[in-house]
Homo-oligomer: A and B are copies of this chain.
Amino acid sequence: MSRFGFNVAVVGATGAVGEQIVSILEERSFPVKSLKLLASGRSEGKKMMFRNKEITIEKTVPDSFEGIDLAFFTAGSAVSKEFVPEAVKRNAIVIDNTSAFRMYPNVPLVVPEVNEADLKNHSGIIANPNCSTIQMVVALEPIRHHFGLSRVIVSTYQSTSGAGKRFIEEMYSQSLTVIKNKTLGKDTVYQDPDTYPIAFNVIPQIDRFVENDYTFEEMKMCQETKKIMHLPELKISATCVRIPVERGHSEAVYFEVEDTDVDAQEIKNVLSVTPGIQLIDNPEERKYPMPYFAKGKKEVFVGRIRKDLDIDRGFHMWVVADNLLKGAAWNSVQIAESLLKMRLLPKKSSK
């Protein structure tokens, strides 16, 4: 561990996102003085590697956060609701990857490429947005900046890793069953009675339904986008869909700019010079973003940019990113790096 640095905790360290946070902290040489890996009792005693040292997973309890400077939470909303206040009470700064506090007025909801400045107003908790929101706002922000933005309609193609490790395994085991038997027997379909088969299927529901017949995932995309982009009046609706892909969310995004006479090439020009975005848009050579090639990468990939066939201010684009990285772990570590750069972390660990 570094001599200069912070006492860091990762809650949900054994999960799909938690693993990635640990690995990115190492890859980015984040100044970690000590690393505490926390999980539920089920994972207690397991080991994970960090900078060639074995760290034993501990069960999360309130006192886990004694002496912690910076805590990443990625173990689901219920865990965050229970333990984030305990961490804050003990003076840790929390970067929370769940939906628990995202819409709280005093909690900045941050994608560093979009609204890094909002970090200044934090009071202990910074929320990491929903995976499908992050990649979309990274692509929309430079467009808003140059041409204005009045409307968004998005249809998502979300991977199973967004639902956790168990669902990746379930997808692969169901797929094997389908390939062998050409069908899923009744007994093999539902590990969870509430879960439809995902192998070679499409499920137009992510998260629970809310009162207006949208899903909570769809409402998160709309509400979070308005908050992150500081566009409370933005017109935005979403359809969120789970498909059989392991990693990488794709999005068909329709948007309307405020300026008139913008052409698709101007939008491509702006996106191609935006940090954090890789433009892949060459129809002639069949080049466009796909999850297969986005896996393991930190960028947001944008392509298929074209004008709507009827609406002068309307455009379509295709946005892909690794939901575990830019959609979760990488954005969280980026927030930590921004806090450091902006001197919003304590100068050194005071403990």
Residues on A facing B (Cβ under 8 Å): 151, 153, 155, 157, 172, 175-176, 179, 184, 194, 196-197, 200-205, 209, 212-214, 222, 235-237, 239, 241, 243-246, 248, 250, 252, 254, 264, 283-284, 286, 288-292, 303-311, 314, 316, 318, 320
Contact = CB atoms under 8 A, between A and B. Distances in A.
A236 B254 CA distance: 12
A184 B243 CA distance: 19
B235 A310 contact: yes
A267 to B, nearest CB: 12
A283 B209 contact: yes
A249 to B, nearest CB: 9
Given A196-B292, A314-B237, A316-B237, A252 B155 contact: yes
A245 B290 contact: no
A264 B213 contact: yes
A157 B201 contact: no
A308 B305 CA distance: 24
Number of copies: 2
A289 B239 CA distance: 14
Secondary structure of the A contact surface, majority rule? mixed
Given A250-B202, A252-B241, A264-B213, A236 B290 contact: no
A212 to B, nearest CB: 7
A239 B304 contact: yes
A33 to B, nearest CB: 35
Given A179-B172, A314-B237, A245 B213 contact: no
Contact of A288 (B184, B205, B284): B205
